[in-house]
Amino acid sequence: MPSPDPPAHVLIVDDEIELAETLAEGLSDRGFHATATSSGSEALERMERGPVDALVTDLRMAGFDGLTLLAESRRLAPQRPVIVMTAYGAIDTAVESIRQGAYHYLTKPFRLDELAIFLRRGLDDMSVRREAAALRRTLRDRFAATTLLGESAAMRSVRDVMERVADTSASVLITGETGTGKGLVARALHTESRRAAAPFVTVNCAALPEALLESELFGHVKGAFTGATTQRAGLFAEAHGGTLLLDEIGEMSPSLQAKLLHVLERGVVRPLGDSRERVVDVRVLAATHRNLRQDVQTGRFREDLFYRLDVVTIELPPLRARGDDLPVLTDHFLQLAVARYPASVVRRVSAEVLGRFAEYRFPGNLRELAHLIERGVLLGLTAELQPSDLPTVVLSDSPAARMPFHGEIVPARELQRRYAAWALEQLGGHRTRTAERLGIDMKTLAKWLADEQDDAGRS
């Protein structure tokens, strides 16, 4: 069995030593480890010398008074609860002590049980704050390690921007290909901000139809539409005081973009079916793989909303542009996979595998690298991961194999058709994304691909 936690050490300071000792004795009977002193300077020496979990001090003492002792306590241990004792005629000074960080004040005479109650509350609050701080450090380390690892110039630039904007309320537009870590960057920005203790809420705008997304974002009242059997506050309300990530913002419909702009400009939301508005304090982060500036020019995305979201842009580089970071990223994901599957014999990645990775384009970016390493750790048969442990797509993706033609001279129209088909294959069959990357509209892409099929049929 684990040993019980030791009792909290409470230091009591009052220039009337008899009162201090009486309080210490009473608190000891109630489960505390309490000691007494009549000197502010001696109390300071004890706090500097050993652990003191809580401080109870009189305000008016000769020489080293309670406010000075409060300031020294906060300097040494900002989270330590301090309770001040004061006579009835010194209430103004007691209120000032609260402004300077005291947890509570008690007016003499007071009951010992009352002091014990406030001490326990203060110690509980301190424990919660310490746990929250530890959790924030864990989250910061976790997301920073996964997202910001590497010393390539592109990643140094990303880190520099993040450090400057994290602890602000500025909107941030996070761009980059699928799998580059946009969601993790958003989480890191929240974790490093003053909103870290408040909710971090995320919604994928591409995963929900327009009507459902509107309800998810802004909420609804009971009976607002068919199936609305209960009231829902909405994600803006859930994120109040914290951060809301609008993932794949480029997929949001124009009508919903207008409603979102209204919320961002006024700071209020109106649930569907409700006549009342609710004030929300939310930092909005947006992420997309699309070129929103180009979408603005084509009318697909509202210009006013774009500039409202694009206060600061963080553009994440694709993994193929981070060649210098591949070894450290590979090792990082290897350690994670080995920890997840300790029975695996794999412990290292061979130089040959790193060479294959250097030639591979990684269309899935960081996410794909992590999955490749996890697969290798699961299926590898030796201590060192070999090329034979990699899937065929990695082995066959040589620079020559990636070309839509192989050194032959072909007519421009045929090259155009081959290139369109190749680009479509490289982007996983996503026609919309292929048209965007080729800088053409969907109708032109369809014509190019149809021409290729027609030629194949005629031949």
The answer to whether the predicted template modeling score (pTM) of the entire model surpasses 0.85 is no
CA nearest to 90, candidates 106, 111, 102: 106
Please state whether beta strands 283-288 and 278-279 pair in parallel, antiparallel, or not at all (unpaired): unpaired
Q: How far is 293 from 300, CA to CA, in rounded Å? A: 10
- Per-residue pLDDT tens, the chain, 459 aa: give them: 445 578 999 999 998 999 999 999 999 999 999 999 998 889 999 999 888 999 999 988 877 888 899 999 999 988 899 999 987 666 777 788 888 889 998 988 899 999 999 999 999 988 887 777 676 666 555 555 445 778 888 888 898 899 899 888 899 999 999 999 899 899 989 988 889 889 999 999 998 888 889 888 998 777 666 666 777 888 999 999 999 999 999 999 999 999 999 999 999 998 887 778 889 999 999 999 999 999 999 999 999 999 999 999 999 999 988 888 999 999 999 999 999 999 999 999 999 999 989 888 888 999 999 999 999 999 999 999 999 888 887 877 655 445 555 556 667 777 777 778 777 776 666 777 788 888 888 888 888 877 544 444 444
Domains, the chain, with CATH or none: 9-129 (3.40.50.2300), 148-317 (3.40.50.300), 320-395 (1.10.8.60), 412-458 (1.10.10)
Is the bond into 363 cis (omega within 30 degrees of 0)? no
What is the structure's pLDDT at 219? 86
Q: What is the pLDDT of residue 192?
A: 84
Q: How far apart are CA 8 and CA 228, in angstroms?
A: 51
Cβ contacts of 337-343, under 8 Å, gap ≥ 24: 337/370, 337/373, 337/374, 337/376, 337/377, 337/378, 338/377, 340/374, 340/377, 341/374, 341/377, 341/378
pLDDT attached to residue 257: 95
Radius of gyration of the chain (CA): 31
